[in-house]
Amino acid sequence: MKDKNFGKKFGPKGPQREKSSGSFDPKKKQIKGKSKPVGPRTRKVQPAPSPAENQSEPENIRLNRYIANAGICSRRDADVLIKNGEITVNGKAILEMGYKVLPGDVIKYQGKVLHREKFVYVLLNKPKDFITTTEDEMGRKTVMDLVKKACKERIFPVGRLDRNTTGILLLTNDGELSKKLTHPSHKVPKVYEVQLDKPLEPEHFDNIKNGIELEDGLAAVDDAVILSPDRRYIGLEIHLGRNRIVRRIFESLGYDVIKLDRVSFAGLNKKDLPRGNWRHLENKEVILLKHLFQARKD
């Protein structure tokens, strides 16, 4: 259901807005104007306030997930280790796919006991010119360069932002939550602020709100609003996660996207988080993320 007050909650916007770091209220979807100056732009990370510990972990989990949580490899690669008999549980080689580990079990790989990592949730305000991947064969800068001091655990981006898109990006080693946040069936909300090369025609604005047919299907938005008098700044709420979906919507109508900033993801926002900086999620934020799916299930 569309929010009748969606447009009012963004507040006035114009060309000067790019100089500010507006905060976004996840409950009210409201951008609260300019933040205080943060001084020269740096790549230093934020101090971590109250990092979230494991939340509601199951007592018994699949062996491949346990191995992945121990930071050895991905679940897919863990299946290969299990198939090859390289993993032992309580001294016995386990070849069964789907085997579940119980509390107190001793899991070993190459003679070493594996311990599950705690779940870590890192929120990054991504700047331009960083690739959303764990490594890049061409040697380009990745988001992992920005969060390398965030934790010792192996974390991965949840979804992706393209190289020229800025804004909120979550990284975690919680594979189950990551899968839920990126699965289309959960319709996780994302809010973007878009700057166009020219004013958006009223007819095209109506087309966007009603859905645009692209080469890979209908691109339906949850809501849209004009943010500035010159009609070049647009607010867009969307749950689709298809590649470059926001840019392609506007490109299909003959517009170039000058700047694209994700201000909200699953209710998380970039309040007090300057561009290029990160912070750990607080416990209450992790709980809210997990309750998001529980509430929809109910």
Active site residues: 162
Closest CA to 154 of 73, 78, 75, 82: 73
Closest CA to 87 of 177, 164, 96, 178: 96
Residue 34 phi/psi, 5-degree rounding, is: -90, 145
